[in-house]
Structure 1
Amino acid sequence: MKRFISSTLFMFVCLLASYPMLATANSPLKVINMQVEYVTEPKGLDIERPRFSWVYALPNEDIRGLSQGAYRILVADSPEKLQAGVGNMWDTKWVESSAMNQIFYQGRTLIADRTYYWKVMVRDNNGKESLWSPVKEWSTGFFSDQQWKGQWIGTTHFFDKRSADCNVFDPWFRKTIVLNKKVGRAVFFLASIGYHELYVNGQRVGEEVLAPAVTDHTKRARYVAYDIAPLLRKGENAIAVWLGTSWSIFPGYDLPNGRPSTPLFSGQVDFFEQENPTDQEKPMFSLRSDKSWRWKNSPNRLLGNWNFGHMGGEIWDDSKAEENWNKISYDDSQWSNAIVYPLKLKISAQNIDGNILVDEIKPVSITEYGQGDYRVDMGVNFAGWTAINVFGNPGDTVRFFFSEREQDRMTFNLHSALVIGRSGMSTFKNRFNYSSGRWITIQGAKRKPVQEDITGWLVRTGYHTAATFESSDSLQNWIFNTTRWNFENLSLGGFVVDCPQRERMGYGGDAHATTEMGMLNYDLAAFYSKWMGDWRDVQGTEAMVGNMRDTSYARKAVTSGRFLHPGILPHTAPTYWGGGGPSWGGIVVSLPWFMYQQYGDVKVLQENFTLIKNWLNFLDTHVQDGLLQRFGGQWDFLGDWLWPNATAEGMNNDKEETLCLNNSYRVFNLRTAVKIARVLGESVLADAWEHQAQVASKAIHTRFFKQEGHVYADGSMANMATALLADIVPSEEKANVEAALEKEILTHRQGHIHAGITGGALLFKWLRESGRNDLIYTMTSKVTYPSWGYMKANQATSLWEMWEKDLPGHSLLHSSYLYPGAWMIDGLAGIKKSKPGYATFIIQPPKAQETNLSWVKASYDSPSGTIYSAWNREEDQLRMQVTVPPNTTCLLKIAKGESAMLEHVLATYRIHSDDINDTYRLPSGTYIF
């Protein structure tokens, strides 16, 4: 017995002694940032073969050269099975691969309305296996229209299109149900025309605001999945929906003899006894939207009519507030039965993170202007929500006017109101609309508010930030931070709007100024996938239809005497309105390619290839002798937009410069489409498009090139850069044209930019890709008109729509000039993609003579992990710190001369040398030299 105890003790001591060795036997690779279809734990996903992705944390700065040799994914229909190591839905076994994104699910068929759980283990390049990742989950929605059972229901109140302010109150709906058992699973799938909020037993479900994402309601509605099981009880339960009018009355979504102009919703939920029901398990009870639901007007109503320049605000009548309207105790016997409307809309999952409140904003000053009138300075121009406590007599109406300009009481008709309740103190807070501005005028309050009475929030789609940037130049830092501020204020509802106050339209032309900036600063793969779906929805509808109140004519085969080509595109999506030109619709070619380069996403190319073909085919119908001819109406063939002094010179014109730019852009589209076709193996189309690009390039050069000066058309930055970007310039003239563009910037414009939204974006793209940090830095360093520094010098807190200061009617929070935000990351920090998805990337700091910066530090959360680049120059010496995430390779490019100083450190990594740079291949790890 003693011998047994001694032996056992000896073995135990040996085990303890060996435990650290066992722990270090695992690979140091640690899986983080696990996503399904680019979203962390998405709910209600309607994709049958979703994609998995992850990246790695750098385990230790001293560990270098770590990579993934294989992975194993387990997927189960319960967390218990997964914890036990059973992947009953999918077990990939060991897959010899370095892939850590774009991994398609290939397991058993997924069931609608279920939750699935997954984890991943990897094997590194040394043959060591990692620990299992944390368990993550996602839930499914519906994979076919037949699975959707809810009816579209609404009220009897319709919007009067003649109204200055909406006449439809935001309605309440409710339904009482009885549950005989405790519920394990209940997911309410709620689609709406207009915004919605969901309540269960008086408690609001979820934190998402202004749901769902904006969608073309002539074709589609999107649903949000809400887990309501934790809020249910055995016995009676009250399910309630509050609808907001908003997009339900948008004129671009009018349908003749179809959907009425009133908010509607369709919803359904199955109640299961088990939290993880089996495939065959039937629900114990089901609830659908139908005529048995009851409705009543809420005390909330839209002010304005959701039209151009009349987005308005909200009025909340606190004297009619009913706190119990969504609870069991409430008596709804006097409410009306819902009206069923037979709509033919495709119902899809939202598939992106919903809108969230961020960046709480407090006033910097409150000034009394007159009796009952107070002026609030929020300190920053922003788009979002406000909450304002006011005091007055019961029944008094207090009004709020929002302005971008200190001298104006109200801009763009943005105003809200509040009727004081019985207590004499009431709170206005946005629910189904948002405002935009810096100053708020409060009219009719009986007491001056204090700072604690007023709070603002920026509202945006809930994507994650992916970049940091800081430099020795305060102006560059201001431009970086302000471009990001603008982007966040413009990206509400799953698309990027031109401005949040006047139009709220998703312009394709403006997208050129924001997409690469967006992708280099935020995690936007799901966001842009959704927006590309919007462009597919709107294709086939003639442009400019949105400017008509009766839009029914635009969806016929013949439109205003013109054939409605299936490839035609309106200039905005999903919103239809607005003017534009070829570079507006052409975003459907550019954006998928940008996404492929950024994320390594082949699926986005496949999904949008028909869209791309149709668009290029439409352009072909307007080509003669190799040149694109003007088409459409007055506002359908714009070139660049909002260059300096553009309003005085005239932007909507038939001048040679516009025809040149649009033809060059078409070639840029064609050459991009060639690359897409090559990736997809569509060699016949690739060859055909390549031939078209060559023919068009020769025609453009013959028509628009001027040998004297070596310029195209008017010699503008936009035309010169687009011709170079589209590879139109013959090789023997390329150096001359580049020199002419440089002269235009440095001499003719004295270092200032002279381009607008689309032209400026194309200019910066060519300069970034050509490594002309010097020219970009010159333009971004100016503080006189026209420049970003001029805006800063004029106390701007957001970037303006125009280069000019305070022109009447233009927005001070706009998408126009955000393109420097991409250059800060891939130019000044030098973080550039080499292969799609950043499995191999470049770090290339600017040459010493290209900027006046003494230091830069930045990070980018790439699809392959966090990249860090920091450099500083002191006494003619370059110092750098570089972090290369595991499973990636960095190509470090250092200018000749500076690289010589690093030779003793980096000699073993050098792989290439030329007259300009030395290139070093760095495996994963942190390097300081």
Structure 2
Amino acid sequence: MILTTPRMLKICAAFLLLLPLWGHAVKAPLLPVNLEVEYLDQPVGLDNPKPRFSWTLQRAKEGVYGQKQTAYRVLVASSLKKLNADIGDIWDSEWKESAQMGQIVFQGKPLHSDRRYYWKVAVKDEKNDVSGWSRSAYWHTGILMPGEWKATWIGSPVVFDPAQQDCNIPDPWLRKSFSLAAVPGQAVMHVASVGFHELYVNGKRVGDDVMATAVTDHTKRARYVSYDITSYLNKGRNVVAIWLGTSWSIHGPYVTKGRPNTPIAAAQVDFYKQKDPAPAVQPFASVRTNATWKMKSSPSRLLGTWNSNRMGGELWDANLDEPQWNTVAYRDDDWQKVTCYEPGLQVSAQQVEQNRLFEEIRPVSVVKISDRVYRVDMGMNFAGWIAVNLEGVPGHRADLLFSEREKMDMTFGLHSAYIFDKTGKGTFKNRFNYGSGRWITIKGVTKEPQLSDIRGWQVRTAYKDAATFSCSDSLQNWIYNTVRWTYQNLSLGGFIVDCPQRERLGYGGDAHATCETGMLNYHVGALYTKWMEDWRDVSGTESIVGNMYDTAFARKAVMSGRHLHKGILPHTAPTYMGGGGPAWGGIVVTLPWYFYRQYGDETILRKNFSLIRNWLAFLETNTKDGVLQRFGGNWDFLGDWLWPNATAEGMNNNSPQNLCFNNFYRIYNLRVAAKIAGQIGEKEWAGKWKEQAAAFSDVIHKKFFNEADTSYADGSMGNLVGALLAEAVPEAYKGKVWKRLENEILVRRKGHIHVGITGGALLFKLLREQNRQDLLFEMASKTDYPGWGYMKENGATTIWEMWEKDLPGHSLLHSSFLYPGAWYIDGLAGIKVDQPGYTRFVIQPPQIAASKLSWVKAGFESPAGYIKSNWSRKDGILHLELEIPPNSLALLKIADADGLHIKEKEGVIRIAEKMNGSTVYELQSGVYRF
């Protein structure tokens, strides 16, 4: 196959061939890989009675094109032995003629709680050749029926006193001794907690996860984590111990009459003689949390009160340490009985990957500030744990203060402390809280810490990477890597926080800036599935009445707000607190749609359809004459937020331009909701929302359009974007409004971005969809204020909260401006979803001058498999290296200006379309070099 350009006629025949050469037909069956259940790799403790299976396909041989899955067969067995013998005694799907690789719903025999199930899959290809079986995988069920949860909630009798400057609750130790007649073949312990927990068996810590469980709305729900403790047990005497950490148990909005304001746990384990017990087999012994357990205060305590600017840290008193507290040999005669509670919470499985330690961080310098005071530079801003070897006066206290600013001892009240025992030596280590910053000021030590004495780790939800990106522009590489690093540091506890140091809230408005960046760079299907459950949990409750910084958050009746219209939403989930506006609650419409497009998963649309319907109905109650009206308190009707110079210009709650922006966003919500309704067969709702979107578009256009300069309201970039993305601009004006937006970016703002969190996310969404990579690249290339390059020039190692450099109270690790993270993959690398789940996708190299961007190398583990898009331009010639995964189809869009003409090859490449200025080629799966 010869690829020609006018400038290459003499050389193209020599080496510009499609590589590898076609050769002879090869029998090359596919192999299923990357097996997952509910987006998780071999989960333990799954409480879905009909879980869904997913896989991707791997070529058995290279040089083969057009491979497809035409059928699949799934086997599920009650033991590995049966599975290895190809016996699906729980489910044999038999051969299903289908190309589907994701969300295959289990249709076998009813599953039982606390059982391990093994599965594998085989597929047929386009030639009807059968693959080998995939590797064997498993999942372990949790508690499938509420009545099977037999554990009692237990904890300490000491409850939180909110009047204290620092938390008054010692983190409690809980333990239970018991005997076993034999070493069990299976023992999985299910541990639910309000507050964090760690599990120990016979003195050994179980697992490497940290700060369990995931953050959850504790007015309604508690989550459990399941631990396989079989290998930790002995015949005879054993002890199980739980260490509770206060953390979210005292979060203000979770205070309810029925639940104690203290950390609590409920746990149970059944011991079976067999490794894979049959459903009818009963355990030979069991352990449940109940009144027979004992408790004692541990040496650790929360510093702070788990509140905005008071997240604090941890206090460790080495004088109270008893290293053997969780062993069989330890005598607990002087321990007191636990207190039993009845919090009335729904108990459900973790559902998302746990937190783990990542990226060990070593300090770069230690500087003496004054006598016994030293400042450590960790080299980068991060959220996570530290371990520091300390020496000091016996009985005295050393303080460790986190700061995002070099000249400040502490920012946002983040501090931990260590009280020395009689040795005067010890190591402070995090356990139930984390710090966030770059500098650590250590006070009260008698010896200067050495670099080797100090370590740090990023802590985050343990999702896997899904993308790589690099390019010829060093600034773009910096932005991409810094956006990713920032996103990772925001994802603790199964949701995305605004900032890890000040608030730790799951803002819906900020999610616009982060969710597509997350989906295009990481495997976050489980995380966003869980976060949408959080939004369902908090629905029907207002967020804030009055000033968000009042001590009691000015809530009516209870901390978690009044239950008003069933569709009203707080601005954060599962955390309730915080300010926002229609674009904050509106994430419950847009996030499920983005998720569906990314993963091809209709379940998220169906599960959240009532939530979407109720939210839009709530907005209707605040609509007059087709205009969404200002509603709520001072912090409840924000539009765009934190645009350049926003602090000086003030809040935008009551401004006409803000009313315009929020109405455009509401129309955008309606248009997306109509697509959702249409996709799941809700035709009546789809029709209603389309009609409303059209009617409201007409009203808002007439109310806010400025004929003189074809702008809206104040002429801001945010309102121009809102009008275009909402499709609220009449056809006759679309071209003019686009020109006005271009002028706003290139001329008035001299190539700079001039929007904030929500406006910026919508701007990037619009320009990505319209393939205006040129405008996005212009804004992402500026090194002066405002822009990402300005942050780089000012020494940033994470993305800031505001465009400004150093405003008081300004977070330097924040969710505000992470939206470029998606653009690098679907814009500069040009990998764009076409059919949900990437069974068909677009590859479109951007039209950016080679003098600005000469090459990009990117890889993306899509839900359909691995996609590679490497392109370069040299001497006016476009070069491509592409990989299209089996069972997928790529639409390669090449601009005529690139002069690249690809010959058709039957069954492999065909010209699908010639449009104005470009040619679209349809590429079957395979590896290509053009």
Q: Residue 120 of structure 2 aligns to a residue in which SS?
A: strand
Cα deviation, residue 547, structure 1? 5.7
Asked whether the 8 Å contact 2:76–2:88 carries over to 1, the reply is yes
C-alpha distance in structure 2 between counterparts of 1:523 and 1:182, whole Å:
38
Aligned match of 2:615: 615
| Corresponding position: 1:127 with 2:91 | no
Asked whether the 8 Å contact 1:26–1:129 carries over to 2, the reply is no
Asked whether the 8 Å contact 1:170–1:298 carries over to 2, the reply is yes
Alpha carbons of structure 1 residues 320 and 491: separation in structure 2 relative to 1, 3 Å: same
Aligned match of 1:682: 682
Cα deviation, residue 557, structure 1? 14
Aligned match of 1:94: 95
C-alpha distance in structure 1 between counterparts of 2:560 and 2:481, whole Å:
47
Tell me the alpha carbon deviations over residues 23-62 of structure 1, each in whole angstroms, 9 at most, x when there is no partner: x997431221110000000110010111101112244441
Matches within 5 A, 1:827-866: 827-849=827-849, 852-866=852-866
C-alpha distance in structure 2 between counterparts of 1:261 and 1:796, whole Å:
39
| Corresponding position: 1:34 with 2:57 | no
Matches within 5 A, 1:320-469: 320-469=320-469
C-alpha distance in structure 2 between counterparts of 1:308 and 1:898, whole Å:
53
Alpha carbons of structure 1 residues 851 and 162: separation in structure 2 relative to 1, 3 Å: farther
Aligned match of 1:195: 196
Could you tell me which amino acid in structure 1 is paired with residue 328 of structure 2?
I
Cα deviation, residue 143, structure 1? 1.9
Cα deviation, residue 902, structure 1? 3.8
Aligned match of 1:180: 181
C-alpha distance in structure 1 between counterparts of 2:884 and 2:44, whole Å:
33
Cα deviation, residue 553, structure 1? 6.2
Cα deviation, residue 393, structure 1? 2.9
Matches within 5 A, 1:503-542: 503-542=503-542
Tell me the alpha carbon deviations over residues 815-864 of structure 1, each in whole angstroms, 9 at most, x when there is no partner: 00000111000000000001000000100001244982000000110000
C-alpha distance in structure 2 between counterparts of 1:39 and 1:467, whole Å:
18
Could you tell me which amino acid in structure 2 is paired with residue 875 of structure 1?
D
**Identical-residue share of aligned pairs (%):** 55
Task: Tell me the TM-score normalized by structure 1.
Answer: 0.95
Could you tell me which amino acid in structure 2 is paired with residue 723 of structure 1?
A
Alpha carbons of structure 1 residues 578 and 592: separation in structure 2 relative to 1, 3 Å: same
C-alpha distance in structure 1 between counterparts of 2:551 and 2:369, whole Å:
39
Aligned match of 2:740: 740
C-alpha distance in structure 2 between counterparts of 1:551 and 1:624, whole Å:
29
Could you tell me which amino acid in structure 1 is paired with residue 88 of structure 2?
G
Tell me the alpha carbon deviations over residues 171-193 of structure 1, each in whole angstroms, 9 at most, x when there is no partner: 00000011011211111100001
Could you tell me which amino acid in structure 1 is paired with residue 348 of structure 2?
S
| Corresponding position: 1:156 with 2:166 | no
Q: Residue 531 of structure 1 aligns to a residue in which SS?
A: helix
Aligned match of 1:171: 172
Cα deviation, residue 392, structure 1? 2.0
Could you tell me which amino acid in structure 2 is paired with residue 215 of structure 1?
T
Asked whether the 8 Å contact 2:553–2:559 carries over to 1, the reply is no
Tell me the alpha carbon deviations over residues 677-734 of structure 1, each in whole angstroms, 9 at most, x when there is no partner: 0011000111111111111101100100011110011111111111100100011100
Alpha carbons of structure 1 residues 779 and 551: separation in structure 2 relative to 1, 3 Å: closer
Alpha carbons of structure 1 residues 225 and 904: separation in structure 2 relative to 1, 3 Å: closer
Asked whether the 8 Å contact 2:850–2:874 carries over to 1, the reply is no
Cα deviation, residue 909, structure 1? 2.1
Aligned match of 1:640: 640
C-alpha distance in structure 1 between counterparts of 2:123 and 2:744, whole Å:
54
Cα deviation, residue 889, structure 1? 0.6
Q: Residue 642 of structure 1 aligns to a residue in which SS?
A: coil
Asked whether the 8 Å contact 2:517–2:820 carries over to 1, the reply is yes
Could you tell me which amino acid in structure 2 is paired with residue 766 of structure 1?
L
Could you tell me which amino acid in structure 1 is paired with residue 307 of structure 2?
N
Tell me the alpha carbon deviations over residues 576-610 of structure 1, each in whole angstroms, 9 at most, x when there is no partner: 00000000000000000001000000000010000
C-alpha distance in structure 2 between counterparts of 1:111 and 1:634, whole Å:
51
Cα deviation, residue 904, structure 1? 8.0
- Single out whichever of 738-747 and 647-656 deviates more from structure 2: 647-656
Could you tell me which amino acid in structure 2 is paired with residue 159 of structure 1?
F
Aligned match of 2:5: none
Matches within 5 A, 1:760-909: 760-849=760-849, 852-903=852-903, 908-909=909-910
Cα deviation, residue 224, structure 1? 0.1
Matches within 5 A, 1:589-738: 589-738=589-738
Asked whether the 8 Å contact 1:556–1:564 carries over to 2, the reply is no
Aligned match of 2:236: 235
Cα deviation, residue 404, structure 1? 0.1
C-alpha distance in structure 2 between counterparts of 1:621 and 1:827, whole Å:
39
| Corresponding position: 1:115 with 2:116 | yes
C-alpha distance in structure 2 between counterparts of 1:210 and 1:490, whole Å:
15
| Corresponding position: 1:478 with 2:478 | yes
Asked whether the 8 Å contact 2:253–2:560 carries over to 1, the reply is no
Asked whether the 8 Å contact 1:777–1:850 carries over to 2, the reply is no
C-alpha distance in structure 2 between counterparts of 1:694 and 1:521, whole Å:
35
C-alpha distance in structure 2 between counterparts of 1:184 and 1:687, whole Å:
57
C-alpha distance in structure 2 between counterparts of 1:672 and 1:899, whole Å:
37
Asked whether the 8 Å contact 1:353–1:463 carries over to 2, the reply is yes
Alpha carbons of structure 1 residues 442 and 292: separation in structure 2 relative to 1, 3 Å: same
Asked whether the 8 Å contact 2:374–2:442 carries over to 1, the reply is yes
Alpha carbons of structure 1 residues 55 and 235: separation in structure 2 relative to 1, 3 Å: same
- Single out whichever of 102-111 and 362-371 deviates more from structure 2: 362-371
Alpha carbons of structure 1 residues 409 and 550: separation in structure 2 relative to 1, 3 Å: closer
Asked whether the 8 Å contact 1:773–1:850 carries over to 2, the reply is no
| Corresponding position: 1:913 with 2:919 | no
Asked whether the 8 Å contact 2:355–2:462 carries over to 1, the reply is yes
Aligned match of 1:499: 499
Asked whether the 8 Å contact 2:28–2:59 carries over to 1, the reply is no
Asked whether the 8 Å contact 1:855–1:873 carries over to 2, the reply is yes
C-alpha distance in structure 2 between counterparts of 1:548 and 1:47, whole Å:
41
Q: Residue 654 of structure 1 aligns to a residue in which SS?
A: coil
C-alpha distance in structure 2 between counterparts of 1:851 and 1:304, whole Å:
53
Could you tell me which amino acid in structure 1 is paired with residue 487 of structure 2?
F
Task: Tell me the TM-score normalized by structure 2.
Answer: 0.95
Asked whether the 8 Å contact 1:799–1:814 carries over to 2, the reply is yes
Asked whether the 8 Å contact 1:155–1:339 carries over to 2, the reply is yes
Q: Residue 597 of structure 1 aligns to a residue in which SS?
A: helix
Alpha carbons of structure 1 residues 440 and 849: separation in structure 2 relative to 1, 3 Å: same
Alpha carbons of structure 1 residues 679 and 184: separation in structure 2 relative to 1, 3 Å: same
Cα deviation, residue 555, structure 1? 6.8
C-alpha distance in structure 2 between counterparts of 1:587 and 1:559, whole Å:
20
Aligned match of 2:299: 299
C-alpha distance in structure 1 between counterparts of 2:374 and 2:388, whole Å:
12
Asked whether the 8 Å contact 2:541–2:560 carries over to 1, the reply is no
Q: Residue 591 of structure 1 aligns to a residue in which SS?
A: helix
Aligned match of 1:281: 281
Could you tell me which amino acid in structure 2 is paired with residue 655 of structure 1?
S
Aligned match of 1:21: none
Q: Residue 923 of structure 1 aligns to a residue in which SS?
A: strand
Cα deviation, residue 424, structure 1? 2.6
How many residue pairs get matched? 903
Could you tell me which amino acid in structure 1 is paired with residue 777 of structure 2?
Y
Tell me the alpha carbon deviations over residues 111-166 of structure 1, each in whole angstroms, 9 at most, x when there is no partner: 01100000011111111111111100000011232111111111110111101100
Q: Residue 758 of structure 2 aligns to a residue in which SS?
A: helix
Alpha carbons of structure 1 residues 30 and 715: separation in structure 2 relative to 1, 3 Å: same
Alpha carbons of structure 1 residues 226 and 908: separation in structure 2 relative to 1, 3 Å: closer
Cα deviation, residue 899, structure 1? 4.5
C-alpha distance in structure 2 between counterparts of 1:27 and 1:450, whole Å:
58
Asked whether the 8 Å contact 1:388–1:455 carries over to 2, the reply is yes
Tell me the alpha carbon deviations over residues 394-447 of structure 1, each in whole angstroms, 9 at most, x when there is no partner: 222111011000010100011000012333320000000000000001111111
C-alpha distance in structure 2 between counterparts of 1:26 and 1:181, whole Å:
52
Alpha carbons of structure 1 residues 904 and 681: separation in structure 2 relative to 1, 3 Å: closer
Matches within 5 A, 1:543-562: 543-544=543-544, 554=556
Aligned match of 1:8: none
Cα deviation, residue 570, structure 1? 0.3
C-alpha distance in structure 1 between counterparts of 2:854 and 2:498, whole Å:
35
Cα deviation, residue 559, structure 1? 7.3
Asked whether the 8 Å contact 2:28–2:61 carries over to 1, the reply is no
